[in-house]
Structure formats: C-alpha cells, structure tokens
Structure 1
C-alpha cells in the first residue's frame, strides 16, 4: 500500500490520522514540522503528503514550495484557517487538495484514494508521452513543456492545466470543469483560481504559435487555428 507522510505539529492529530490511515492499509510516517520532513526525504520518499500549514520552524507553505522544486508527489494541505487566500495559495503552489480543520479522517481517506485513482487513470491513458502542437512540445513522462526547444518554467498546476488543454485543442472547458479535472473536486470559488493561472500561462506562452483563449460566458480553450 502507499506510504503517507503526515506532517502536523499537534500530537493528537498525528496520532489519530496515523491510527486511521494504518487501519485503511496505508504505511504511515509522522512528523511535527517541515524540518523533520526535509531530513527524512534524504533517505526515503512517500507516495503522498498530508501537510498542515501552521507549523513552527519550516511551515506548511514553505515546505510545499521546497517540495515542488524537486518533486510532484501528491500533497493534501490541511489548515485550521478557512480562508480563501490560504486555499488559493496552497493550490497555486502545487497542492493537490485542501482540507479545513476539523475534518473527518474518513473524508481524508476518500480524498487520498481519489488522488491515487486519478494517477492510475492518467498513467493507463498515456499511450503517447510526446505531443507536438505547432511549436509547442509536451513531454508527459517528464511533465515538461517546451516552446521552440525552450523549456517553460511552470508550477505543477500550470503544467496540469496547459497539458490538459493541449491534449484537447479547440475544445472549450468551463472554469468549473478545469478545476474538477485538475484538482479532482468541485471548488466553490469565483473562478479566480483558474483566471489567475491562465493569465500567468499566457505570459509564459508569448512565443507560442497559439494561445489559451477566452470563450466568453463559458471558459477557456486552446486556439488551434491561431
């Protein structure tokens, strides 16, 4: 079964999640702050992180930034603060999901299993790792996008959104559909999460032979006719 790192500065939460996840068959390692995790990663690597935001020393968001510089391992962020800014920032930094405390351990398990199911579906569906669309090259195995052989510096979610649109050129998607597809659940926000991400992608794709265009009153698509 997958190995899960649980990082939280509250002992009782670590104990509860460890007990519940082990009961579900997961291998679990627990840590009280980000510094312990960075040390542990020198010798072992999990299949998923459950990461609290508010911790001493290296907090959750800083740890997430560091993790995403070297890894695309799934991360579920948890926080006692139910603030939209925290949620958007966590997702933009590359978190795969976000839960607000207090939450049900059962709900956490469901979300973890959903993440692994999505990973399995993606891997099974990758009949071709390389996609070329005009002067843009997508390497799904390396999670890499190049324009005229120049690699784009993308965050994990920027890559996910761009790769999804490139693989469906000309097909429009609503903001809600993009969030549901990329993050795996319905995001009850105002769409700013996707709007801001697309704005950043357009700047990074200024030398591409096509762009992400707005379908007014609906969402976004790759303009394959550009």
Structure 2
C-alpha cells in the first residue's frame, strides 16, 4: 500500500510542484486548498503525513494544525512565506513537527518528508517493551504512551522523540545543538529557539509546575537532562 501524503496549500502551482516530486518518489498525494477541506480529507482517508501551508483562506494552517492535533499525532510539516523566528515558533507550538520557509527547494522538502516517515516507521517497528518510570511519570516508548499521575498525556512526535532521547540516557546532559541534530536529523544551525520551544511545551504537559521542573532539568549553560 502506498504512503499517502496530504498537501494543503491555497497556491495551486505550489501544490502541483510538491505533488510531482512526491508522486515521482512513489507517494500517493491528496490535495486541499484550505484548512477545512484538509480536515475533511483526513476524516475520510488514511493519510500518513500532512504538508500544511500557514497562510490559507477560511481556516489557516495554524488553526488547522491545532484541529488535527485534537485527534491525531500524524507528522505535520508546515510551510510559510514568512521566515521570521516568531512564525517558526508559532508553527511549532501548535504541534507541527517541522517547518520550512518559502521559497524552498522541493528536494529539501522531500528529504524532510522521508525523515518524518522514517522516524514514524521506526517507532512502529520497535518490539521490546521499554518502560521508563520517574516519580509520577510513566513513559512506554514502544506503545507511545505517556502518563503523569495516572492521566494520559498527548505529545507531538517531535516532543516524544526529545523525551525518548533524554530518558534513553538518564543523567546525561544534552545541548540544544545535540538534541536538534539527533531528533531533527539535521545540522543544528539556528536550533536553540526551536529546541527551547519544544522543551517548554513538554514541561507544560508533564510537569506539575513547569517553572520548577522535576523531570526535565536545565543545566545552565550546558543543556537539558532527565535524572533517574
């Protein structure tokens, strides 16, 4: 069965270009011109990844991403004509897994699509149970299940990968560059803000008091760690 990717962008030419590159790599492609149409397609088709433009009519990409995250952890790559850091941070805080500013190289987008799909497939192929417990936190890496004080917590795939990295090496301090290179699979570049946003989101979800975290500790000037 072919992997199906949904491309949501109000620019038909951009949709066509992305469609051609994805189709040439063997992917099945569905298209939407705005957010509500994208949601309808997701409700009626099996889709493995979404490419989502930020600026769309009727329902923009930010609202669409938030709506998708209410029910699905499907990988989402956001596109935007705005390259400023604030737009990137806004996109990532809504639950997107990656962000690419327009104009972009279609080959770079294709590489990011494949990276997201590999990451997703790797998680599905794990067989041996890996359970991490700390205080009230239970993290089952194979079942993709996280709970705090008995209440299930929903994480984005990127947040999950960061938590998985930290719990795989309890006590080890990871710099923002190392986290970015490991989780995103790319050279760090301007990674600090991106990683900080994801760490903040993780703390908001798993910490009783995010300002005084018990799980994800900051080692000032070095990075982040989780003690066992």
2:69 counterpart residue number:
68
| Bigger shift: residues 137-146 or 93-102 | 137-146
CA distance in 1, matches of 2:68, 2:143: 17
1:82-129 per-residue CA deviation (whole Å, 9 max, x = no partner) reads 111111121222222111111122221111112222223333345215
8 Å CA contact 2:128–2:142 kept in 1: the answer is: no
Q: Does 1:96 align with 2:100?
A: no
Q: Does 1:37 align with 2:38?
A: yes
8 Å CA contact 1:8–1:33 kept in 2: the answer is: yes
Residues 119-198 of structure 1: pairs in structure 2 closer than 5 A:
119-152=120-153, 154=155, 156-189=157-190, 191-198=192-199
SS in 2 for 1:6: strand
1:221 counterpart residue number:
225
1:144-180 per-residue CA deviation (whole Å, 9 max, x = no partner) reads 3223323346555444423332232111111112123
What RMSD, in angstroms, separates the aligned Cα atoms of the two structures?
A: 2.5
2:208 counterpart residue number:
206
Quick one: structure 1 residues 67 and 169, their matched pair in 2 at CA, closer, same or farther if it must change by over 3 Å?
same
* Shift in Å, 1:201: 4.0
Q: How many residues align?
A: 224
2:107 counterpart residue number:
106
8 Å CA contact 1:135–1:209 kept in 2: the answer is: no
2:11 counterpart residue number:
10
TM-score calculated relative to the size of structure 1: 0.86
TM-score calculated relative to the size of structure 2: 0.86
8 Å CA contact 2:96–2:156 kept in 1: the answer is: no
| Alignment gaps of 5+ in structure 1 | none
8 Å CA contact 1:144–1:159 kept in 2: the answer is: no
| Alignment gaps of 5+ in structure 2 | none
1:63-85 per-residue CA deviation (whole Å, 9 max, x = no partner) reads 00111111111111111111111
